[in-house]
Chains A and B, each alone.
Chain A
Amino acid sequence: MSRKKVSSGAAKRPRLSYERRKALYGYGFISLWLLGTIWFFLIPLGKSLIYSFNSVGIESGHMTMKWSGLDNYSAALNKDQYYVDHLEKTLLETLWRTPLILIFSLFIAVVLNQKFRGRTLARAVFFLPVIIATGPVFRVINDDMDATGTSSGQPQFSTLLHTDLVDELMHFLGVYDMSGRMTGFITAVADSVFGIVWSSGIQILLFLAALQNIPPSAREAAQIEGATSWEYFWKIVFPYVSPFVLANLIFTVIDSFTDPMNEVMRRILVFQTVDINYGLASAMAWLYFGIILAAIAVVTFIVNKFVYYEVD
């Protein structure tokens, strides 16, 4: 690819090799971004790291900083009564929600990839959360459903879905005693069906795109060999989409961690806007970010071992 070409103007200029020139053009293309990133990303990032090691105060509109070492971090972990609880809760929730979202969205993608009447409509419906779920509308929907009791949606909805049904099913099966924990578990799952369906729009989209990349010849070959749909899924579909499992996994984890609606973020926001303590807020945010990074690194490492790449 690196044949030398002499463009018309180059002869008069001081000679630069083709590679050097291309490299310069490369810098040219990214320079705008680079400038912006230094100004709007790297500097703020560094500053917030510095905040986290200082006790920050505001005096007559200007910021005063005093070095305080790891005080903010230990305050976040030991003194703040909510932070650790929220952190644990968010982590746990992400831990069990992520696999469910992935399984669910893969299943729906496989279904939506089949040919049936009304498929376009079905796809349109399932991608609808993509345009709503990131916004305040979803927040209002969720709030209303959590807080306001009978007049709101979720209680009706989940009552309809679980309470009686699970109990009755258990009674019908002749199980009376053990239903306590079991019902609790199933109730929790049923409650979160709503959340899961509403947060898997993009994931479905990505899986669907991956599914459409599977060559039709693979399916034909499998059919001729007499593979059932089940075998076809595990032996052919799954290996093909496995790289996207990783991509989706990371996307899901980031999405749920950086969601301004989650409780850690809300707690951080309190210190940014209400009880103004930027040092503590930064320390909390950095601690949280460190955990996210570690989680993603571990997940990537594990999943990468099971991923099948067609071209290597």
Chain B
Amino acid sequence: MTENKTAHNKLSVKEKRTLRMKTLTKEERNYIRRRELCDKLWVIFRAVILCGLGFIIFYPLIYMISCTFRERADMSDPTVVWVPRRPTLSVLKETIEAMDFWNTLKNTVLLNVGCSLVQVLSCAVTGYGFARFSFKGKKLLFGIVILMILVPTQIISVPLYFQFRFFLGTDVNLIDTMWTMYLPAMTANGIRSGLMILIFRQFFRGLPRELEDAAYIDGCGPFMTFVRVMIPNAMSSFLTVFLFSIVWYWNDYYISSMYFNETKTIATTLCNIDNELKLRLFGDGNAKMNRREQTAWRQAGCLVSIAPLLIMYTFLQKYFTEGIERSGLVT
């Protein structure tokens, strides 16, 4: 039955087409044919381009996976290109051990999620202040926000280090504590907070003013208005910025390697993975390793350190990609 139906449909479409073509002049027919040809070529071209570039993006990931599950000896075997000869978990296990993965992961998550959460809140409050209130010096202050985006962290990192080392001019040493990350995050000065303030400002400017006016008339103070009216409206934007913030904190190794010696995060461990491997697997900082075998461990390290992000991305992909559109950065 269904076959019949589709056949009929196909036929009728073709018939319609020929009928329509007959009514047209020769030039018009040529034009339509040319366009159809172009469209088809474009579809093929697009598929080729997307697949090719997709391959470029996936290439390192495939390589990581391939390296992780092979035996170390396979690294030096030229006949093994992609598929491991005897898939094992030994490299993966060694890497997890060398990175002290579970502890590090716990540390990182604690730091990451906490800082991101606090920073999103503080940046939202600041962004709201810049979006809805007019006060003296607003332009100048907003200029500072822009400056925060422009100034490379490397410029301020040394003085900042000393500020944490001798906190408030006293002998209190905050280096190697999580305060070094939490304090800036709390006061909207953490990683890429300038950008986040800008995003929130744009977002809140895009919301209708009537929302707040209604709340004011009902006798709600500005802060409660923000909490009760604006935050619920900005939920999806919050989530997007929060996710990006997690990614940025997760990937940061410059700032955390500056402040942390003992406290390890995934990113700093990965940067030091060669030393960690030597210390933990061979018990000797000067051990010589075969470069190729080392690559296997390194790639495994990469894989385990982005695995949590990849999992998060797979499930929350929608918020990453659609969030920016709704976040109001584009208005």
Contacts and interface: CB of A to CB of B under 8 A. Distances in A.
B58 A37 contact: no
A197 B122 CA distance: 33
A42 to B, nearest CB: 7
Interface centre among A25, A51, A114 (most CB of B within 10 A): A25
Interface in A1-35: 1, 5, 7-8, 19, 22-30, 32-35
Bin chain A's interface residue count.
Answer: 35 or more
Interface stretch (A94-102, A126-134, A168-176): A126-134
Contact of B302 (A29, A122, A129, A141): A141
Contact of A193 (B56, B150, B226, B317): B56
Nearest to B137: A27
Contacts, number: 248
A37 B140 CA distance: 13
A23 B63 contact: no
Interface in A183-217: 193-194, 197-198, 205-206, 208-210, 212-213
Nearest to B136: A23
B321 A137 contact: no
B158 A272 contact: yes
A296 B149 CA distance: 12
A197 B324 contact: no
B270 A197 contact: no
A212 B325 contact: yes
B102 interface: no
Contact of A7 (B151, B219, B301): B219
A36 B133 contact: no
A40 B187 CA distance: 9
Nearest to B51: A122
B154 A135 contact: no
Contacts of B128: 29
Majority SS of interface residues in chain B?
helix
Contact of B150 (A33, A63, A126, A293): A293
A296 B150 contact: yes
Contact of A25 (B56, B222, B252, B321): B222
Contact of A36 (B43, B157, B184, B292): B184
A48 B59 contact: no
A289 B148 CA distance: 12
Contacts of B129: 26-30, 33
A151 B295 contact: yes
Contact of A258 (B43, B144, B153, B267): B153
Interface of A: 1, 5, 7-8, 19, 22-30, 32-37, 39-45, 47-48, 51, 63, 108, 111, 114, 116, 122-132, 134-137, 139-141, 144, 148, 151-153, 157, 193-194, 197-198, 205-206, 208-210, 212-213, 244, 254, 257-258, 260, 265, 268-269, 272, 278, 281-282, 285-286, 288-289, 292-293, 296
18 contacts: A23-B135, A26-B135, A27-B129, A29-B125, A32-B122, A37-B187, A40-B156, A41-B189, A45-B155, A111-B49, A131-B310, A135-B253, A136-B251, A136-B267, A153-B63, A269-B154, A282-B158, A296-B150
Interface of B: 43, 46, 49-50, 53-54, 56-60, 63, 75-76, 122-123, 125-126, 128-130, 132-136, 138, 141, 144, 148-160, 162-163, 183-184, 186-189, 197, 209, 216-217, 219, 221-223, 226, 247-248, 250-254, 267-268, 270-271, 273, 291-292, 295, 298-299, 301-302, 305-306, 309-310, 313, 317, 320-321, 324-325, 329-330
Given A26-B132, A131-B247, A139-B253, 12 more contacts: A23-B135, A24-B135, A27-B129, A33-B122, A33-B123, A39-B163, A40-B187, A43-B163, A44-B159, A114-B46, A137-B270, A265-B154
